[in-house]
Structure 1
């Protein structure tokens, strides 16, 4: 602890001559090298400790200000070295302020009682009327929140998690707030019971009440003009600005909320973006994006989602109140002016167009289009597998992960094809085949989960799913056999055997983390039994699952490979592997060709409408090419062509390594 001393009589006299006063000068302590030069018009109350004031702050526009205290009232405050605090309209009470912090033109900053600083606040997510409350805290991950919100059929688990979080919140509670080092707070209004981390910038915030801003040097937080936050936690690297209003909300790492966005009882996890619109009781998993003023997200669970303008949902049904909820599984999108009446569940990587009021559940038919036609929901299974937009999304998410904090809260799996989506496709393939069998292969349309599927869409859907399954299983086999030259079929069989039994059975997407359900069950059992008894240990278990994803994935893929291709583990030969690889090559090339053709539509004559506005067709073409480029040289198109080449060579290379056994 830094040594402090009492003021000398000369220092007290000098301070009083500079219009400073104290209820009791004996309660004011200072650093050994303290000087009075830069303390003017300051009042001291209660226990106050001051550092030294020697440095200058370089401000925007070339202005400089010397560290010091000017026109300030401090009550029970410790001020670190080289801070500048100026023009506090009311006072600062019960705070420890770190070194090199700049506070100017603020109304009031205080802690008025023992506070948990937002830890322990209950957020009524998904169901506004309660029943799925998530207790927020500094170390909350999307995966912890998912279990707390959705596993309500295990009351002992929920009660234990609440107890663990309550202990964490109590441990971090205090009657004294913290403003970290290198913090900037300017032109702010009312700040009460808020813990502010290092390197945070608060500019023009209207009201911040009962919360934590978990900023740090590697991932600073910015709070902008007109922001109002009550009962909140904002994680590292996030920006909340331009009139955003949050009530009982958790904001995860590297989120961006702005342009008058408003949200209540909502959770936003890593890399979410919210602008202009509003949210109520939503569970926004990683990469949930909504940009439009007319968009309302309510009582829904989302992740890797992009909401179109005018997207809306409704959770009121009959006279029971807002008790219904819904889910758009990872990667789902909504088109402009789409509407879904909850309850409903939309499959992963699907696109919703139009108004849907019949409560569809398409979770086992991922990569689909839901299209409304004359108040009827039509389902086009699997078609999004060929969409250039889907592939671009999968490529852009890792690049758009803006987290710079080395301590990441969410464990995010970006894989488009995984045991989670492939098990859905296998189930979807069986559903479509059964529909064809029961209703007859010549039926014009088929009914499934309040939706209609056209005959051509059903047959194409089966082909899309089979192609994706071939691609995933082939990927897994090639990766498993990578870089090894085999001398016998027995050596191949030995290498194919999984390293662990973990991974068989159902897989789940726990809001960004893809893992075997058995591992999630084991974690929940350990929480219930008391083996996992802290938020950090729960976090570490999720991180461990994420780290072992590919080991667990192979266990699942191996079992499904045997089942899907009708193989026996003890009889697999190089010939079987070569056949799988050839199917994989065909699948990769066919899907890439589909994506290539879809991309080509972006360069059609109809897409050029509006280009070269006042000129000839030739000028229109040249204008389009200047803005969008030429199809053949488009970076994405060239990447698709290169992907076909690389994957074909990769398959050929494995077959060559097996050639002595074929």
Structure 2
């Protein structure tokens, strides 16, 4: 940061000739190489520091530090009216509108720490310790002086109040920003209104979007009039046009439609179809309910969920569901409405090319540079594989209890017998595929991956490691937010080793003894064959989607079938 000095009498005179005014010129400080040409037709109030090369045109600035090479232009009021933490410490009632899972946001918040704060409320000692860490961090971020970072730009805005603006950040045409932080490279565009907010590095909020008590994660985008209140959006989310209220949006949560509502739930790697909706109010105890839509879920157009509800990872939801289902044990399924009831097709999504495309596109679309959130992209992992193993046990138990049934009821859903049998085959094949993939990666020894795995804010991690972390927080062995984040990062660095150890233990349990080298090689080869078979099925699904059966409405003015085909293949990019 540059060193500052008082203005000279000659500089004050030059500034006034350029239509600048100040409540007290002695409160305005500049760098050694300051030139009065850096300011024009502007008003300075309170304590103002103007960095090297910083420019202020046609604006009012009050109690602000303007970083080197920054620009403030045509701003009605850039002001810090009181001592502020700039959005740090704001309480966000995520997941539950009645504030039972409140997360205090700060400008280095990670999806993993937010997950701990929201999900582990049954450990009040842990929550209290984490909140003390946040309180200490907030105190460090508190100041009576707002700041505009190096190379940042604030132009065409109306009221920017108690906002810390990071290096290279941009505010262009915002209507009202109050009590917030823009981290480095963040962008706020035309007609945006936001109160009590934090935008992480590279986040973008634009085109009339309205935020209140929100955290917008690294490289996330809220656009085209999207409105959100009491919501958390972590890395690479993209939401437009619709609405969010009390949402924990893990990485890659996507919603693009005006009529779509996300409310009182947890999402990640999620896509909301047009008109999809949830309700968390049964008109009894108030808006107290919540839903969790595990990693990779999709809502078809018009899908509806009445909370509370829980869907397994990579579930496709179609139709209305109001009976409070729990399909968490059945990943890669279809949940469809049938005569007003919820019908589950276990494992049906394993052969969908859409699911394959989703898994492949997420790492390619990672726009982040800092990568605060730990994100696991691995298709074959202990978390989903463990769920599939539990699904096999559950389906076998149902079938054994009544071998001749036409359908089975399980946790508020019905499972047709034919789909149960198909699901068993698909899950067993997918388990072999996943185990082989995990055994093929990582190194043996030194990483204990045994036990249940979790998906913590987008990171696959063994539950035992999370519990150990929480115990260390309780005991004071971990005392800072950086140390908490570092523990998650350390696990992520050795994920392959932990996953291999888990798969090795599962293989040993199946065999009934420690696997030999030959048996290990056989499992890896079987996994490769199973993955090839599943991919072949997904490719068949893709071919159906690209077949001429889908050419309806193409070649509108065609005179023969060849022209229809030419138009179809050209537009679809299939030739």
Cα shift readout 1:278-324 (whole Å, capped 9, x = no counterpart)? 00001000000000001000001000000000110010014111000
Question: How far, CA to CA, are the matches of 1:462 and 1:108 in structure 2?
Answer: 64
In the comparison of the two structures, how many residue pairs are matched? Answer: 574
The answer for the alignment partner of 1:70 in structure 2 is 41
Structure 1 pair 439/180, CA: closer, same or farther in 2 (3 Å)? same
CA separation of 1:586 and 1:71: change in aligned 2, threshold 3 A: closer
Q: Which residue of 2 aligns with 1:149?
A: 118
Offset, 1:26: 4.8
> Is 1:444 matched with 2:406?
yes
8 Å Cα contact 1:72/1:85 also seen in 2: no
Matched, 1:424 2:393: no
Q: Report the counterpart of residue 544 of structure 2 in structure 1.
A: 601
Contact 1:72 1:86 in 2 (8 A): no
Alignment of 1:447-526 (within 5 A): 447-479=409-441, 498-500=444-446, 502-526=448-472
> What do residues 610-637 of structure 1 show as CA deviations (whole Å, max 9, x unaligned)?
111121222111111111244xx7xxxx
What per-residue deviation string (whole Å, max 9, x for no partner) do you get for residues 206-240 of structure 1? Answer: 1101111002xxxx111100101100000011110
Conservation of the 8 A alpha-carbon contact between 2:31 and 2:51: no
Q: Secondary structure at the match of 2:89?
A: coil
Q: CA deviation at 1:503?
A: 1.1
For structure 1, the residue ranges without an aligned partner over 5 or more in a row are 39-66, 481-494, 634-662
Structure 2's unaligned 5+ residue stretches are: none
User: In 2, Cα distance between the equivalents of 1:175 and 1:397?
Assistant: 41
Among 529, 539, 562, the alignment partner of 2:485 is: 539
* Alpha-carbon distance in 2 for matches of 1:624, 1:22: 67
2:557 alignment counterpart: 614
Q: TM-score of the superposition, structure 2-length normalised? A: 0.96
How has the CA–CA distance of structure 1 residues 588 and 18 changed in structure 2, closer, same or farther, with 3 Å as cutoff?
A: closer
Taking structure 1 as reference, are residues 458 and 181 closer, same or farther at Cα in structure 2, changes over 3 Å only?
Answer: same
Give the secondary structure class of the aligned counterpart of 1:554: helix
Query: CA separation in 2, counterparts of 1:332 and 1:21?
Result: 57
1:557 and 2:503 are equivalent in the alignment? yes
| Greater Rg over alpha carbons, structure | 1
Partner of 2:230: 265
| Alpha-carbon distance between aligned partners in 2 of 1:8 and 1:323, rounded to the nearest angstrom | 62
| Stretch moving more, 309-318 or 244-253 | 309-318
Preserved CA contact (<8 Å) 1:380 1:461: yes
TM-score (norm 1): 0.84
Q: Is the 8 A contact 2:20 2:43 kept in 1?
A: no
Confirm or deny that 1:402 pairs with 2:367: yes
Q: Is the 8 A contact 2:381 2:438 kept in 1?
A: no
Give yes or no for the alignment of 1:568 onto 2:513: yes
Q: Which runs of 4+ in 1 moved over 6 A?
A: none
Matched residue of 1:106: which SS?
coil
* 1:110 aligned residue (79, 83, 90): 79
Give the match for residue 636 of structure 1. none
**Equivalent pair of 1:68/1:82 in contact (CA under 8 Å):** no
Check the 8 A contact 2:21/2:43 in 1, yes or no: no
Q: Which moved more, 1:295-304 or 1:19-28?
A: 19-28
Cα distance in 1 for partners of 2:22, 2:494 equals 60
CA 1:74–1:452 in structure 2 vs 1: closer, same or farther (change >3 Å)? same
Q: After superposition, what is the alpha-carbon deviation per residue over 1:303-357, rounded to whole angstroms, capped at 9, x for unaligned?
A: 0000000110010014111000011100010000000111010000010000001
Distance 1:346 1:9, change over 3 A: closer
Over the aligned positions, Cα root-mean-square deviation in angstroms equals 1.8
Aligned residue for 2:567? 623
SS in 1 for 2:441: helix
